[in-house]
Amino acid sequence: MTVIESAGPLQVERRGTVPRRPFLRRRSAIPGFAVTLGVTLAVLSLIVLIPLSAVAIKASGLGFTGFFREAFTERALHAYALSFGASLLAATVNGVFGVLTAWALVRYDFPGKAVVGALVDLPFALPTAVAGISLATLYAPNGLIGAALAQLHIKAAYNPTGVAIALTFIGLPFVVRTLEPVMRDLSAEVEEAAASLGASRWQTITRVVLPSLAPAWLTGVTLAFARAVGEYGSVIFIAGNRPFKSEIAPLLIVIQLEQFNYRGAAAIALTLLMVSFLMLLAINAVQAWTRRYQ
């Protein structure tokens, strides 16, 4: 390959024109393109793409009506409603507290800031099963928080509230980590300009700062939502897992598998995959929209 590359410039000198490069021809002298791309595509196909396609193929064995029968049973519809509803609630809670947390981390100085900053990533690092049993123990009626809430006649575990609590734990870092860099890049001059034009601090925040954070906020909340919809480990311990009441969609896949209803499991999985695909598209759209306004 090096021989061909060095032949290029010689020809240019002789003919005085730039030789036309064939499609896909390497432009650089760096070696290893064919090998690394080949390995990447092969591994990607074997580990990710082909197995994932098994879901679609298995579900397609049901036919169109069969798919709808398996994917949208009444029990499954309840599970989707709980998964999406609790995820939305958790993402919204994280949207509110995530902004405040990111703001505190970027704008304020306080003792222990480094620790708090590191702690935000805990849900990424802590195994979901550990989070699950811990949250279940805390929020159970005899747990530390559960007992306090029980006195207020609030039941926070083994019901949809418990699901939302676990999903809040899981989603927080997505919002904070997406907002932080954008907040850091906000130029102080814009705020100064607003102030010098007579805006109060409140007006500066609501009319200048928050609107410029909106795309990142939306991305973070969508990421938290998307993660929450598929979450399993942290939820099943605190959810109670009663059909039609506190059963999340991923758990229903596991239950179908345990009953050897592979097609039913594939149908629900395909539904979830399509939702995550839509989420990905939404995130990309938000990011494209952001770039246009930067």
Partner 1 sequence: MSGAATKKAVLATQDPPWVKAVVLTTVLLFLGLVLLLPVAAVFAQALKQGLGPALEAIREPDALSSIRLTLMTAAIAVPFNLLFGVCAAWAVAKFDFPGKAFLITLIDLPFSVSPVVAGLIYVLVFGAQGWFGTWLTEHDIHIVFAVPGIILATIFVTFPFVARELIPLMQEQGVSEEEAALSMGASGLTTFWKVTAPNIRWGLLYGVLLCNARAMGEFGAVSVVSGRIRGLTNTMPLHVEILYNEYNYVGAFAVAALLCLLALVTLVLKTLLEMLQPDLRARH
Question: Which one, 15 or 224, has the nearer CB to partner 1?
Answer: 224
Residue 262 binds partner 1, judged by CB under 8 A: yes
Residue from the set 60, 72, 88, 104 that interacts with partner 1 by CB under 8 A? 104
Question: Which one, 16 or 291, has the nearer CB to partner 1?
Answer: 291
Residue 218 binds partner 1, judged by CB under 8 A: no
Residue from the set 67, 174, 217, 225 that interacts with partner 1 by CB under 8 A? 174
Pair 201, 247: CB distance under 8 Å: no
Residue from the set 3, 4, 18, 30 that interacts with partner 1 by CB under 8 A? 30
Question: Which one, 86 or 272, has the nearer CB to partner 1?
Answer: 272
Residue 26 binds partner 1, judged by CB under 8 A: yes
Nearest approach, Cβ of residue 68 and partner 1 (Å): 19
Residue 84 binds partner 1, judged by CB under 8 A: no
Residue 90 binds partner 1, judged by CB under 8 A: no
Residue from the set 100, 147, 148, 154 that interacts with partner 1 by CB under 8 A? 100
Binding-residue pattern over the window 31 to 60 for partner 1, x denoting contact by CB under 8 A:
xxx-xxx-xxx-xx--xxxxxx-xx--x--
Check residue 244 and give left, alpha or beta (phi > 0: left; psi -120 to 50: alpha).
Answer: left
Binding-residue pattern over the window 188 to 217 for partner 1, x denoting contact by CB under 8 A:
x--xx-xxx--xxx--x-------------
Site for partner 1, residues 267 to 286, rule: CB under 8 A: 269, 272-273, 276-277, 279-280
Nearest approach, Cβ of residue 38 and partner 1 (Å): 9
Got the DSSP string for the chain? -HHHHHHHHHHHHHHSSPPPPPTT---SS---HHHHHHHHHHHIIIIIIHHHHHHHHHHHTTHHHHHHHHHT-HHHHHHHHHHHHHHHHHHHHHHHHHHHHHHHHHH---TTHHHHHHHTTHHHHS-HHHHHHHHHHHHSTTSHHHHHHHHTT---SSSHHHHHHHHHHHHHHHHHHHHHHHHHHS-HHHHHHHHHTT--HHHIIIIIIHHHHHHHHHHHHHHHHHHHHH--HHHHHHH---TTTS--HHHHHHHHHHTT-HHHHHHHHHHHHHHHHHHHHHHHHHHHHHHHT-
Question: Which one, 215 or 227, has the nearer CB to partner 1?
Answer: 227
Nearest approach, Cβ of residue 69 and partner 1 (Å): 19
Binding-residue pattern over the window 114 to 143 for partner 1, x denoting contact by CB under 8 A:
x-xxxxxxxxxxxxxxxxxxxx-xx-----
At which residue do the structure tokens 């393109």 appear?
Answer: 33
Question: Which one, 50 or 285, has the nearer CB to partner 1?
Answer: 50
Check residue 73 and give left, alpha or beta (phi > 0: left; psi -120 to 50: alpha).
Answer: beta
Question: Which one, 178 or 215, has the nearer CB to partner 1?
Answer: 178
